[in-house]
Chain A
Amino acid sequence: MDRMFPFGFESHLSFYLVVYVLTLVVHVFLMAYVLAGSLWLSWVTLFPGGDSIPRTKQPLARILRDWMPFALSGAITAGVAPLLFVQILYRQQFYSANLLLGWRWMVVIPVLVIAFYLLYVVKSKVVSRMSLLVRLGLSISVAACFLFVAFCWTANHLLSLDATVWPDAYGSGVAVKSRVAVTLRLLTWIFGTFPVMSILASWQLRGMRSRTTAWDSAISESDWLPFFNADHRRLGIVSIVGMILASLSAVGYWTTLAPSVRSVLIGNMGMPWMLIVVASVLFQIVGWLFQFRRPCICNRWLSAITTAATITLVGVASLREIIRLSQADLDQVISATKAASDVGGFELFLIFTVLNVGLIAWCVRLVSSRGQRFAAQTKKKE
């Protein structure tokens, strides 16, 4: 543990850690979009603002409503890979925490099913004509479902870290040992989802500027422009506020960690990542502030912020693993990954990953070329 994560371990352990962290980051990107998006939709339903078009019908809310079912589907699918590798790395911890939470863990599935269908309901045109109370109820229900799932994951993760509390947790049925730790860690993740959602939504806003006729042909592209700019600005603010609050919550969570864990975090293993996370967060804040000075979304800055956010997520995921490894039975983790590395099939995975990434790119290309044709056709009609 004297070198930067994930170096300094046996190669097989480092390898599985890298695969786990990278697949987790992909999942977190989509998960953040869904969680922060649902909270944002609840917010704008409650506070529709005084503009000529209520915020619920402004570009950001429209895009979020439209894309959230797909994002949830993507988040669940992307979540399968880290769920697989966590079972290789931390089988005993993960299974024990699952079992100790029992039905409180299993209930995550029906809650997600409910949330999924509610997303389709929220998206439907029928609901947009319903009363504020119904729309608010639906939006809050969706957000509450995702918050509950986030809470369960947090409780599960924290429980999995400390094997010494498992027998007591089993006997007493009390799975959450420290409510403060759970709350602060949960808040870190919840606030941290907003910057990620802001980036993904910004890219979508940018892409939708020339396709507004699909929303309402009575409103011209130029009339939509102020709303796009306002939403863009709001996303920047939400992102910055999210990062500040997530950082404060993370500092609070830090205080709940054992001194031995903290020493690993500020040691050779964790310190480089701490610095990387701080630097990339600062870069994102500066990036958004630069964006504010421009009339519209700047492609270059958005790309830079996206890169910084990706680095932040990789850093946070790495710190998460450093905390876990500092509390785990390292010999057990090493022997588990050593044994797993002797099992064949990796070449197969590589081949099909390349093939399927290519096919996915082909799907997107097929649809993107449709987009250009569709835009050309629309302009011609006008």
Chain B
Amino acid sequence: MIDIYPVNDYGPLMPGLVMAAVAIVHVFLAQFAVGGGILLCYFQWLAMTGRSESARVFVHGYFKVLVLISFVLGALTGVGIWFTSIQVSAPTIGEMVFNFHWIWATEWTFFCLEVVAGYCFYRYHDQLSDRTCLTLLGLYAFAAWMSLFWINGILSWQLTPGDWLTTHAIADGFFNPGFWPSLLFRTIVCMTLAALIGCVVVNVIPVLSREQRQELIHKAAHLMMPMLAMPILGAWFLFSMPADSRGWVLGGSPAMMLFFMISVGASLAIGGYAVVGLWLQKLYINGATASLLLLLAFGATAGGEFVREGSRKPYTVRHVLFSNGIRPEEVAELRIRGCVTNNPYPVIHEKTLPNEMVTVGAKVFRRQCAVCHTMEGSNAVAHLTASWDADQMRMNIAKLQQTKPFMPPFAGTATELESLVQYILWVHDGRPKDWRSESEPDAIAQIEKWLDEAGTEPADVSSRTTVQQLPVATARQSVSSESEGSAE
């Protein structure tokens, strides 16, 4: 049975944008928390071995920032991501939770350790020996990094599920092809972010002299040196991606390539400054410059996350779930039974719609398009289809996966598709009070033909000629025999 959920309308904002905003902030803060633990261990070691006396002042100041920002905002935006994911695509988060709930529960035990170790240090560091402080910070850093370890497996599984698709073994899903490059890359990002925030913090601790600040900044820059490995790890990650996803990033999708370039450019700028300025020339950076570099790092994170999310298209979990929450194996069934047939949720403002056909079209839009599109706001369908005539619209939607390969196949009946077309045309025409209420039999027949030609499989641009398409006639047969079976 297919789960049906209510879909919310966020006005001009598409749900994906809401998700992106929360996710980017959370990822940024969570990576700061992970890197912060490593940085603090390093500085505590510097202080207790006499390598840097001012490191002690820094550790205490930095941890306050970590607690106030990461413990509060980091933890709550983490919960916020769950809530937002439900709003955007309940089937996707449901699939992730279902397959990895014990991994998530394991991560939770590390959250608990992170909070306890962190607060023990925060509350009592001034009454503890150096060795005990290092132990607590070490435990905090270990727990924080392990939380990255666990969540990284789940997130990379979405794009590169690898052998899990055939074995369904949790180890295959977790240690998927993207796991290691992603984990190592993210670890370096965490260390870089922590170092940059360290540079900001150093500049706002009032008791430090200029020389002390310079010394601490150079020590913090040590954590940015692993950035030198980023190109190799980035390339490894890129080549672990499916060919079509890599294609979007490397030019197939202008938006995705743009964000990819922003991410690479910002990372290069930070890495260049760290290596040349801080490491080789021992330059000093003030609070403003450090903040600017941090802003660049935020841009790099945002770009990277956009690419990671976008490159999964047309899936949210590759080969398991399309971005609209419909499973690949459900498409054929929905082509026969319809995607809104059993949907109990009415269309909001239904009275403003002219007739039943347009109402059905609005329901189809809500079910299949609303996750990534609005009607007239951001990524608006009305805008994207503005230059199409009715027949072109019918064909382009019927062959959606061929029209745009990062789109999933249309998963509904020909009549539903026609209703969607009429709904879009009605919007194009300025939402008049009267609108045609019956579909033309010729148009429906033509849509059915196009749907059959397109098949139910998504496009595979990397091997377009070998795409296995399930003929709808076969699907019809199997669904009808299933219905007969259940009727009996």
> A residues near B, CB below 8 A?
70, 73-74, 76-81, 83-85, 87-88, 91-92, 95-96, 98-100, 102-103, 105-106, 108-109, 112-113, 116-117, 120, 166-167, 170-171, 173, 339-340, 343-346, 348-349, 352-353, 355-357, 359-360, 362-364, 366-367, 370, 373-374
Contact = CB atoms under 8 A, between A and B. Distances in A.
B120 A76 contact: no
Contacts of A359: 113, 117, 139, 143
Contacts of A117: 68, 72
Given A77-B112, A100-B6, A363-B120, A95 B101 contact: no
B128 interface: yes
Contacts of A120: 68
Nearest to A168: B346
Contacts, number: 175
Interface residues on chain B, size class: 35 or more
Contact of A96 (B6, B127, B171): B6
30 contacts: A73-B71, A80-B79, A83-B82, A88-B98, A88-B101, A95-B86, A96-B5, A99-B7, A103-B8, A106-B84, A106-B87, A109-B76, A109-B80, A109-B83, A117-B68, A167-B345, A173-B348, A339-B98, A343-B99, A343-B100, A343-B102, A345-B102, A348-B102, A349-B105, A352-B106, A355-B109, A356-B143, A360-B112, A364-B120, A373-B127
Interface string B152-181: 000000000000000001110000000000
A57 to B, nearest CB: 20
What are the 3 closest A-B residue pairs judged by CB atoms, nearest first? A345-B102, A344-B170, A95-B90
B74 to A, nearest CB: 10
A94 to B, nearest CB: 8
A120 B67 CA distance: 11
Interface string B76-120: 111110111011001001100111111111101111110111011
Given A73-B71, A95-B86, A349-B105, 8 more contacts: A74-B115, A81-B105, A91-B94, A108-B83, A117-B72, A171-B345, A171-B348, A363-B139
Given A117-B72, A352-B106, A167 B344 contact: yes
Contact of A73 (B75, B84, B348): B75
B346 A167 contact: yes
Contact of B3 (A91, A112, A340): A91
B348 A99 contact: no
Nearest to A164: B344
B80, B139, B143, B345: residue with the most chain A Cβ atoms closer than 10 Å: B345
A366 B117 CA distance: 10
Contact of A102 (B8, B115, B127, B143): B8
Contacts of A364: 116, 120
A87 B169 contact: no
Nearest to A107: B83
Contacts of B78: 80
Given A95-B86, A170-B346, A370-B132, A84 B108 contact: yes
A85 B171 CA distance: 21
Given A81-B108, A170-B345, A344-B169, A112 B102 contact: no
Contacts of B68: 117, 120
Interface of B: 3, 5-8, 68, 71-73, 75-80, 82-84, 86-87, 90, 93-94, 97-106, 108-113, 115-117, 119-120, 123-124, 127-128, 132, 135-136, 139, 143, 169-171, 344-346, 348, 350
A359 B147 CA distance: 15
Contacts of A77: 75, 108, 111-112, 115
A88 B97 contact: yes
B4 to A, nearest CB: 9
Please indicate which of the listed interface residues B73, B78, B87 has the most CB atoms of chain A within 10 Å of its own CB. Answer: B87
A360 B5 CA distance: 40
A345 B103 contact: yes
Give chain B's interface secondary structure class: helix
Given A80-B111, A345-B103, A360-B116, A367 B128 contact: yes
Nearest to B113: A356
A85 B105 CA distance: 9
A331 B183 CA distance: 40
A349 B120 contact: no
A76 B79 contact: yes
Contacts of B120: 363-364, 366-367
Contact of A370 (B7, B98, B124): B124
Given A109-B77, A166-B6, A344 B87 contact: no
A232 to B, nearest CB: 24
Nearest to B110: A356
Contact of A349 (B109, B135, B344): B109
A102 B136 CA distance: 40
Nearest to A332: B1
A122 to B, nearest CB: 14
A166 B345 contact: yes
A346 B102 contact: yes
A84 B86 contact: no
A103 B348 CA distance: 16
A260 B344 CA distance: 25
Contacts of A109: 76-77, 79-80, 83
A19 to B, nearest CB: 8
A170 B99 contact: no
Nearest to B18: A106
Q: Which of B71, B135, B350 has the most CB of A within 10 A?
A: B71
B136 A78 contact: no
Contacts of B139: 359, 362-363
A98 B83 contact: yes
B83 to A, nearest CB: 6
Contacts of B106: 345, 348-349, 352-353
Nearest to B348: A171
A170 B6 contact: yes
A115 B86 CA distance: 24
Contacts of B76: 76, 109, 112-113, 116
